[in-house]
Amino acid sequence: MSLRIGIVGCGDMGRKHAAAWAQAPGACLAALCDQDAQRAQDLARFYGTDAYLDWRDMLAQETLDVVSICVPCSHHHDIAVAAAERGCHVLCEKPMAMSLTQADAMIGAAEANQVQLAICHQYRSLPHYRAIKDLVASGRIGAPLYIRFMEAREVRPKLEMHRLSGNGGPVHDMCGHLFDLARFITGAEFGTISAQGAVFGRDKKRLQAVQDFGVDTAEILARMQHGHCLSIGLNWGLPEGFPGYSSAVIHGPQGLIYAIDSQEPDRFLGDPSPTLEIVVKDAKGRQHIPCPTGDNSPEACVLDLMRAIEHGHPLEFSAANGRAALAAILASLDAIHANGQGTDL
Ligand SMILES: NC(=O)c1ccc[n+]([C@@H]2O[C@H](COP(=O)([O-])OP(=O)(O)OC[C@H]3O[C@@H](n4cnc5c(N)ncnc54)[C@H](O)[C@@H]3O)[C@@H](O)[C@H]2O)c1
């Protein structure tokens, strides 16, 4: 069986999806689409496929088994629903959609047409997060957990990452990965979410063309089942060129687990590194566990979707997981807007 794959969006993630599908046994790239003709043609030439400027033409003219969606979030719903209605399985980049109404329509279209819908929250496939999950499950630091993620970066290079009309702004764009990881590590669902937020990127030169800024800086506190708690700090509004940092610390009643890069402490935890380590600190002392290099390609999502299509395995990178992450994002943004952005004491 060889699955025929079409990809919409030939930017950074589109290229990663193309590489992952090209290497997957039992899949063949059939068509690539980007509204930027040069991008579509360059990638199509590289893989020897057809190139399209409009995804509607691609769906109409090609016989595809799977469509990978790698365009800004504001287009995910329309493409996913149309692909499902043509009988295509869908691998959609995160964030799943702009709203829960859209997400539910995507799930409904997949169910009605008996196709799989996967959402690319691939962080849960990274070796250091799998190692953290296993350590937590061993009971070594006890429970409940207080999970703290911090992501601080210079204003992002792509305007769509800051636009409400693109990926919904940085909270919408990034925090879904972190909500998904918290569910992955704890196995628990979210309860109440509170948050404060701000826009730090507004006066930055790189973002001059942005009219509709999404919230780029936030403190989010989510209560979870079984007494767990997730705290997210996000700042995607630092000045251009600022080094930033990223951290993940899992606090338990008997100790801490965190990931560090022994060579580059500022490294972002989604990036591959041969020197990544998991540190466990508990009553026995401090243990460093080297962690295999992982990279954040969508390969795990591609293989997961193929197993679901070919053998009926339940998806790990499921639409239900994508929807749960989206619900937490939207609850955070609701809380931020209800609190106002920087109300005086
Ligand atoms: N899973 C992850 O870790 C991860 C990382 C980065 C981005 N993403 C997600 O991937 C998606 C794409 O992000 P990216 O970084 O590749 O962006 P990008 O800007 O590099 O690429 C997007 C491409 O989509 C094209 N495009 C936009 N609208 C289109 C349309 N209607 N029809 C056809 N082509 C269209 C653009 O021309 C561009 O080439 C977003 O949803 C983003 O949130 C996920």
Per-residue pLDDT, 1? 64
Atom of ligand 1 nearest to the CA of 14: 16
Task: Yes or no: say if 7 and 67 are a contact pair by the CB < 8 Å rule.
Answer: yes
pLDDT at 270: 66
Distance of alpha carbon 216 from alpha carbon 234, whole angstroms: 7
Nearest CA to ligand 1 atom 6: 13
pLDDT value, residue 238 = 96
Ligand 1 atom nearest to 76, measured from its CA: 41
Q: Closest ligand 1 atom, CA of 158?
A: 19
What is the distance in A from the centroid of ligand 1 to the CA of 289?
35
Tell me if domain 3-121+297-316 and domain 123-295+330-339 are identical in fold: no
Tell me if the domain spanning 3-121+297-316 has CATH number 3.40.50.720.
yes
Nearest CA to ligand 1 atom 32: 35
Residue 13 alpha carbon, nearest atom of ligand 1: 16
Bridging pattern class, strands 66-69 and 89-93: parallel
Q: Cα 228–232–233 angle (5° rounding)? A: 150
- Residues having CB closer than 6 A to ligand 1 are 8-14, 33-36, 39, 55, 70-73, 75, 93-94, 120, 122, 158, 160, 167, 173, 296
76/53 Cα distance (integer angstroms): 16
Going residue by residue through the chain, which has 345 residues, state the pLDDT in tens, using 9 for 90 and above. Answer: 699 999 999 999 999 999 999 999 999 999 999 999 999 999 999 999 999 999 999 999 999 999 999 999 999 999 999 999 999 999 999 999 999 999 999 999 999 999 999 999 999 999 889 999 999 999 999 999 999 999 999 999 999 999 999 999 999 999 999 999 999 999 999 999 999 999 999 999 999 999 999 999 999 999 999 999 999 999 999 999 998 888 899 999 999 999 887 777 666 666 777 788 899 999 989 999 988 777 779 999 999 999 999 999 999 999 999 999 999 999 999 999 997 654 444
Q: Are strands 190-198 and 146-154 parallel, antiparallel or unpaired?
A: unpaired
Q: Ligand 1 center to residue 290 CA distance, Å?
A: 33
CA distances from 301 to 65, 125, 186, 266 (A): 16, 8, 21, 27
Angle, helices 170-186/319-339, rounded to nearest 10 degrees:
120
The residue whose CA has the least distance to atom 19 of ligand 1 is 11
The listed CATH number (1.10.3720.10, 3.30.360.10, 3.90.930.12, 2.60.40.10) that belongs to domain 123-295+330-339: 3.30.360.10
Phi-psi region of 157 (alpha: psi -120 to 50; beta: other; left: phi over 0): alpha
For the four alpha carbons of 165, 169, 171 and 173, in that order, the dihedral sign comes to: positive
Does residue 179 contact residue 325 with C-beta atoms inside 8 Å?
yes
CA–CA–CA angle 144, 148, 151 (5° rounding): 160
State the distance from the centre of ligand 1 to the C-alpha of 32, rounded, in angstroms.
13
Any idea where the domains of the chain sit in the sequence? 3-121+297-316, 123-295+330-339
**Claim: this prediction has a pTM higher than 0.85:** yes
Q: State residue 261's pLDDT score.
A: 78
